[in-house]
Amino acid sequence: MQLTMTGKQIDIGDALRRHIEASLSSILEKYFKTAIEAHVVVSKEAHLTTAEVSIHIGRGIVVNAHAAGPEAHPAFDAAAERLAKQLRRYKRRLRDQHAKAREASASTERAMAYVLAPVTEGTEADDTEEEEAAEDGTGGAPAVIAEMSTELPNLTVGEAVMRMDLADAMVLLFRNRSHGELNLVYRRADGNIGWIDPELDPARRTRHRFS
């Protein structure tokens, strides 16, 4: 496994490097031996130190965990504990997913992901520009500041929720394996998981399957 470590406003000394490498090796040896790469970022801000761990363990499967503490060692240990808990929770299903990924076709459906500039309160001049944009049909769309290609996975709803949880993400777009249409799962403010499944022609669907 390729492991990279980055320090932001903090120097990652040899002792911490050895500790991080040993901890991650022990966790992966126990739960998932075939990880591809891992990246650890340790950041110092004011009186807190934050540790972020990201591990790529298979095709399209990324596990993220982060924690904060008064010093680098306890911050990383807390993040590593969360990582181990996530891998333990999904250990069997991750191995099944990894096997399916090896058997899958090399062709992968892709989608474009965009980062948009935040919408801020405008001036009178901005209002005039928006009116002109509405008139010329552009609709005053926010500016695109970054774009990237991302995989659009073919999953069951249960698999999609698992991947979103592992990645510590707020939302995941996927193609529902049970009927072939685009679906979305997301984290609700009340702590539950939301699932958006557009109503389409019933003839294009088969019965939903959960796993």
pLDDT reported for residue 210: 45
For residue 188, pLDDT over 70 is answered with: yes
**Which of 25-29, 42-46, 148-152, 201-205 shows the lowest per-residue confidence on average (mean pLDDT)?**
201-205
Q: Does 2-101 match 152-204 in CATH topology?
A: no
DSSP state string for 160-203: HHHHHHHTT-SEEEEEETTT--EEEEEE-TTSPEEEE-----GG
User: pLDDT of 68-87, one tens digit each?
Assistant: 999 999 999 999 999 999 99
Domain ranges in the chain?
Answer: 2-101, 115-146, 152-204
| β 110-116/61-69 pair status | unpaired
pLDDT at 131: 58
Binned at pLDDT 50, 70 and 90, residue 106 comes out as very low
Beta strands in the chain (DSSP E): 2-8, 37-45, 48-58, 61-69, 110-116, 144-151, 154-155, 171-176, 182-187, 193-196
Name the class of domain 2-101. alpha beta
* CATH number, domain 152-204: 3.30.505.50
